[in-house]
């Protein structure tokens, strides 16, 4: 178990991020990646009603239910706003058929003694002041759960709750849980929508399967896949500066989201004014800031790569644009579902720029192989045929 605590500003709120999973050989998904994704979201989006300091606690792969209870209790007794995020797997114990959160030592036969009873979370939150508590879940139901109902995971009526509990599906594996991917990507983007408002969009984007239990809504209709075909015209990415008022990065930012807005809007203005050197400098600063705060493989890094790709294309550097669009698409395959528009845009632009390359340039063929790999990960066999045809016959125009 690892615990990380950070403090920000003045009156105290609390965020508790729980990643729990049984220690099994064939792990279906990685709750730790879910916690990492939630930790990358600006605190102001997770607790917008907390103007002062926020304590953030991460608990990853705990082995003892009492230790998890202690963390939940410590969070529940705080007086400020509270968000609890839980990512893991639930199961029913055999004797009383109660729902438990599986922990590192949980097996098929010892759920009752090694897992955390969901009722404990319900009881700990019962004394919270109305309007101060939010619970977000991204859970996988164990086969022992049978047909689940939202009442199986009871919480006090005054607690806001959002999320999903998916049925086990042996045919597929998860990396970052799908609902968390969608919610954290939306919450990391500029905007003022609350988690509750983003929940419906996250459901539509994540595409929960049949039998999924939804907290805070109902299952959306399946979204149609967006076809990606090679083309010459690149889609626009950067926001219109007439809509986003430009500010220089570093100017009186009130939090992480403001810093991102500053870079994005200043970049858009520089591009509109034709100041490509300045745009490149801002993109480099933005990249360094994201690497320091979130890491080079994080979801926000995808936005930086998109901006850098747009700058390269506007500057006429098609080779660099192709390489950056492919890198953007590779990032998006980790953080987006296949039909999500951010991934589709990156794939379309990667293909459009790569098809403009002269394949006598040695790296052009390597970029083509990289593009095929990304298209395969995104589940797009059609465009792969066109790319491979050109690789096999460089004179072919698709």
Averages of pLDDT over runs of 10 residues in the chain (398 residues) are 43 90 65 87 89 89 90 92 94 83 87 90 90 93 78 85 80 64 89 86 82 70 36 40 30 38 72 80 84 79 88 84 92 82 88 86 86 90 88 64
How long is the chain? 398
Q: Give the up-direction half-sphere exposure of residue 214: CA atoms within 13 A in the CB hemisphere.
A: 19
- Beta-strand ranges (E) seen in the chain are 2-6, 13-19, 54-60, 82-92, 99-101, 116-117, 133-141, 160-166, 213-215
pLDDT of residue 344: 86
- Residue among 42, 44, 68, 45 at smallest CA distance from 57: 68
What tokens does 122 get? 């319900």
pLDDT of residue 26: 55
pLDDT of residue 303: 86
Measured between alpha carbons, how far is 118 from 116 in angstroms, rounded to an integer?
A: 6
For residue 375, give Cα distances in angstroms to 73, 150, 269, 298: 46, 37, 32, 20
pLDDT of residue 74: 93
What tokens does 163 get? 């999320």
Measured between alpha carbons, how far is 281 from 263 in angstroms, rounded to an integer?
A: 10
pTM: 0.56
Domains of the chain: 2-215 (3.40.50.1460), 256-392 (1.25.40.10)
Residue located via tokens 């930086």: 304
- Residue among 321, 390, 316, 41 at smallest CA distance from 185: 41
């Amino acid at each position: 178990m690892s615990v990380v605590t950070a403090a920000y500003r003045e009156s105290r709120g609390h965020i508790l991020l729980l990643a729990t999973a049984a220690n099994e050989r064939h792990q279906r998904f990685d709750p730790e990646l879910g916690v990492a994704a939630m930790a990358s979201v600006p605190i102001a989006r997770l607790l917008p009603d907390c103007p002062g300091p926020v304590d953030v606690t991460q608990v990853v792969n705990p082995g003892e239910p009492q230790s998890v209870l202690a963390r939940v209790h410590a969070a529940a007794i705080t007086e400020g706003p509270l968000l609890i995020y839980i990512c893991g797997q639930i199961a029913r114990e055999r004797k009383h058929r109660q729902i438990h959160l599986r922990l590192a030592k949980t097996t098929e036969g010892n759920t009752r003694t090694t897992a955390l009873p969901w009722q404990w979370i319900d009881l700990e939150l019962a004394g919270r002041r109305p309007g101060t508590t939010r619970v977000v879940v991204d859970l996988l139901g164990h086969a022992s759960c049978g047909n689940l109902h939202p009442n199986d995971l009871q919480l006090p009526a005054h607690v806001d709750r959002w999320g999903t509990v998916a049925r086990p599906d042996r045919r597929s594996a998860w990396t970052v849980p799908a609902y968390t991917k969608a919610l954290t990507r939306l919450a990391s983007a500029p905007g003022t929508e609350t988690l509750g408002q983003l929940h419906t969009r996250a459901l539509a984007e994540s595409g929960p399967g049949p039998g999924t239990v939804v907290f805070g809504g109902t299952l959306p209709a399946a979204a149609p896949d967006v076809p990606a075909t090679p083309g010459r015209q690149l889609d626009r990415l950067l926001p219109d500066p007439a809509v986003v008022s430009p500010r220089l990065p570093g100017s009186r930012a009130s939090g992480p989201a403001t810093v991102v807005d500053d870079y994005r809007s200043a970049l858009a203005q520089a591009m509109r004014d034709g100041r490509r050197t300045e745009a490149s400098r801002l993109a480099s600063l933005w990249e360094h800031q994201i690497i320091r705060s979130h890491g080079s493989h994080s979801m926000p890094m995808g936005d930086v790569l998109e901006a850098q790709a747009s700058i390269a294309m506007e500057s006429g550097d098609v080779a660099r644009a192709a390489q950056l669009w492919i890198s953007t698409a590779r990032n998006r395959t980790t953080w987006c579902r296949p039909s999500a528009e951010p991934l589709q845009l990156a794939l379309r632009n990667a293909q459009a720029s790569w098809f403009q390359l002269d394949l006598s340039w040695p790296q052009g063929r390597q970029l083509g192989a990289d593009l095929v790999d990304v298209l395969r990960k995104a589940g797009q066999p059609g465009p792969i045929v066109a790319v491979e045809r050109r690789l096999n016959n460089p004179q072919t125009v698709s």
